[in-house]
């Protein structure tokens, strides 16, 4: 049997190991690692009962549980599955392939439209005005936009600062920017329950992480307590950014 082991078997094992490792990282980041460990233990017991001990009665019970458990796992891990598919679909090469077959031209925020955002964040940082700005990319945020006040305005530094001014009725929510337009403000974002988020980061940062885990958007946060500028992107934080670092991050092709 050892000599039957070929290149295809090695690739098969490597792919399975990579899948398990990625699943482990995904479960760990979402705080579901204990649930993931319990599922692995259950699978091991099922294999021992059915393949090693060959217990027919107990094995048939486990088989029924496994068949029903697939549906239960989809329900339990729907957020993680959604994030995995989103990461796969938002990959640069995949998007190029889709655009090639569909002829769809992806709209992007131009560099001239990013500068007012950066300058507004810099001014709000100096004055310690809290802000949360989400820049939509390929994944549509229509459901998020519907939770706030919708409008269609040109990207303007003063407008951004006025919306997040402390006495403004829209300053507590998130601003959504799509292509070269401000689409909405005062929007409600999904809050991340990631246990790895530093405790000193507040609700705005958790909301930014939440939307970055569920879409390919850049979420910019200006801290009201410290004035620090941060960005959440693809489930990762970029903290304490300078104006130059923020501009580079936002203009970099994702």
Tokens of 219: 């979420």
Question: What local confidence, expressed as pLDDT, does residue 29 receive?
Answer: 60
CA–CA gap between residue 128 and residue 125 (Å, rounded): 5
| Short-list 114, 206, 202, 203, CA closest to 160 | 114
Domain ranges of the chain: 2-102, 111-251
Residue 220 pairs in a beta bridge with: 133, 231
pLDDT at 194 (0 to 100): 74
Q: In what order do the strands lie in the sheet with 236-238?
A: 149-154, 181-187, 174-178, 131-136, 218-222, 229-233, 236-238
Q: What does the radius of gyration of the chain's CA atoms come to, in whole angstroms?
A: 23
Per-residue pLDDT of the chain (254 residues; tens, 9 = 90+): 445 667 787 888 888 888 777 777 666 665 666 777 777 787 788 778 777 777 777 778 777 777 777 677 777 666 666 666 666 665 555 555 555 555 544 545 566 789 999 999 999 999 999 999 999 988 888 889 999 999 889 999 999 999 998 888 888 889 999 878 999 999 999 888 777 787 888 889 999 998 988 888 899 999 999 999 999 998 889 999 999 999 998 887 54
At 140 the pLDDT is 83
Q: Name the residue among 211, 204, 199, 202 with its Cα closest to residue 236.
A: 211
Q: Please name the fold of domain 111-251.
A: YojJ-like (1 (3.40.1700)
Question: How high is the pLDDT of residue 184?
Answer: 93
Q: Indicate the angle between helix axes 78-89 and 92-102, nearest 10 degrees.
A: 70
Predicted pLDDT of residue 1: 47
d(CA 200, CA 238): 15
3-state secondary structure of 39: helix
Distance CA 192, CA 206 (A): 5
| DSSP line for 155-166 | --HHHHHHHTST
Residue in 170, 211, 208 with CA at minimum distance from that of residue 187? 170
pLDDT of residue 254: 47
Whole-model pTM? 0.66
Q: Is-contact 187 176, C-beta < 8 A?
A: yes
């Amino acid at each position: 049997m050892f000599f039957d082991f070929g290149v295809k078997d090695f690739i098969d094992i490597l792919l399975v190991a990579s899948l398990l490792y990625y699943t482990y990282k995904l479960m760990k980041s979402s705080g579901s690692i204990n649930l993931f460990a319990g599922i692995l233990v259950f699978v091991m017991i099922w294999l021992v009962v059915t393949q090693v001990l060959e217990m027919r009665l107990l094995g048939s019970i486990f088989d029924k549980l496994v068949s029903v458990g697939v549906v239960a796992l989809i329900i339990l891990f729907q957020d993680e599955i959604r994030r995995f598919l989103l990461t796969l679909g938002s990959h640069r090469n995949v998007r190029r392939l889709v655009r090639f077959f569909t002829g769809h031209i992806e709209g992007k925020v131009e560099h001239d439209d990013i500068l007012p955002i950066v300058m507004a964040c810099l001014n709000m940082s100096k004055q310690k005005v809290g802000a949360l700005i989400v820049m939509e990319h390929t994944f549509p945020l229509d459901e998020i936009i519907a939770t706030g006040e919708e409008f269609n305005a040109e990207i303007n530094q003063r407008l951004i600062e006025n919306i997040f001014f402390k006495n403004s009725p829209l300053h507590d929510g998130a601003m959504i920017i799509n292509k070269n337009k401000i689409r909405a403000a005062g929007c409600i974002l999904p809050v991340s329950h990631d246990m790895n988020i530093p405790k000193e980061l507040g609700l705005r940062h958790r909301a930014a992480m939440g939307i970055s885990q569920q879409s390919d958007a850049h979420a910019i946060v200006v801290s009201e307590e410290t004035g620090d500028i941060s960005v959440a992107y693809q489930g990762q934080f970029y903290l304490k950014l300078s104006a130059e670092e923020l501009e580079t991050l936002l203009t970099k092709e994702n």
